[in-house]
Amino acid sequence: AQSVTQLGSHVSVSEGALVLLRCNYSSSVPPYLFWYVQYPNQGLQLLLKYTTGATLVKGINGFEAEFKKSETSFHLTKPSAHMSDAAEYFCAVSSGTYKYIFGTGTRLKVLA
Amino acid sequence: NAGVTQTPKFQVLKTGQSMTLQCAQDMNHEYMSWYRQDPGMGLRLIHYSVGAGITDQGEVPNGYNVSRSTTEDFPLRLLSAAPSQTSVYFCASSNPPGTARNEQYFGPGTRLTVT
C-alpha cells in the first residue's frame, strides 16, 4: 500500500527566507510523485512532478523538489519566499496506476 | 480548453435530500475521479473511472454513486445527504498513468453544506 506523510500542517517563513515543505512517501514500486498548490477557494494546481529520470525537479513559481529514494522523501523547496506563495501545499504519490494518494497538506504562511 | 468544470459552486442541502454534482472535462482524458476535502484530512478518493462505462470505489464511497456514460462527464450523486457529507468536492481528470504526462487536472470544487 502507498502512503504519504507531510510533516508540519502549518509552516511560517519570513518573506525572502527559504521555504522547505517536507514529504515522505511509502511505496512498494517506483513511485510517481507530485506537489500541488491550492490557493484559497480554488482547486489544486500542479507545481511539479517526478516520474523518471532526473531526481531534481523544477516546477512553476521557482519551486523545486528532489526525489531521494534512500530517504523515501520528496521535499519541496524555494530559495526565497514571496507573499504570493501563501497557500496550502499537497504532496501526492502514484504507483503508475490511476490511484493517487494525497498527504494531509501543509499550510504555508509568509510573514512580511 | 475549459479544462475540468464543476457545477454548482455552492450548494446547501437538508438532511435526506439527494442531488447530483456535475463534472465535465474537454481534454479527452480516460481517467476521472471524485475527491472530498476536509480540514486536516487532505483529499480522499470517493470514486473513480478509467473510461466510459467503468467505475470503481475509492477510499470513502459510502453514500455516493457515480456513472460514466461518456468520456466527458462524470457526475457524483448523493443519495440521501447527511451532515457528515458537508465538505468540498473536487473532480479531477488525468492522462494515462505510468507515463511522463501523468498528472491530474482539478476542477474548481463544489462547496456542499448539509444541514
Beta bridge partners of A45: A37
CA A46/CA A107 separation, integer angstroms? 16
Q: Is the peptide bond before B8 cis (omega within 30 degrees of 0)?
A: yes
Contacts with B45 from chain A: Cβ below 8 Å: 99-100
Judge residue A5's burial from the number of C-beta atoms within 10 Å of its C-beta, 0-12 exposed, 13-18 middle, 19 or more buried.
middle
Pairing of strands A73-78, A64-68: antiparallel
- Number of CB atoms found within 10 A of residue A6's CB: 22
Is B97 within 8 Å of A42 when comparing Cβ atoms?
Answer: no
| CA–CA dist A47, A30 (Å, integer) | 20
- Phi and psi dihedrals of B67, rounded to 5? -150, 160
The distance of A88 to chain B (nearest Cα, Å) reads 10
Check if A2 contacts B (Cβ < 8 Å). no
Decide if A43 and B97 are in contact by the 8 Å CB cutoff: no
- Residue A32 grid coordinates: 510517481
What is the dihedral sign for C-alpha A95, A100, A104, A106?
A: positive
pLDDT value at position B40? 84
Phi, psi (rounded to 5 degrees) for B77: -110, 130
pLDDT digit string (tens) for A95-105?
A: 877 788 899 99
When pLDDT is averaged across residues A57-74 and rounded to a whole number, the result is: 95
Closest CB from B31, B33, B42 relative to A103: B42
Q: What is the pLDDT of residue A48?
A: 95
| Per-residue pLDDT reduced to its tens digit, A5-49 | 999 999 999 999 999 999 999 987 888 999 999 998 888 999 999
Mean pLDDT, contiguous 10-residue spans, chain B (115 residues): 92 97 95 93 92 93 96 96 97 82 88 97
pLDDT at A28: 79
Torsion of CA A11, A52, B46, A9, to 10 degrees: -10
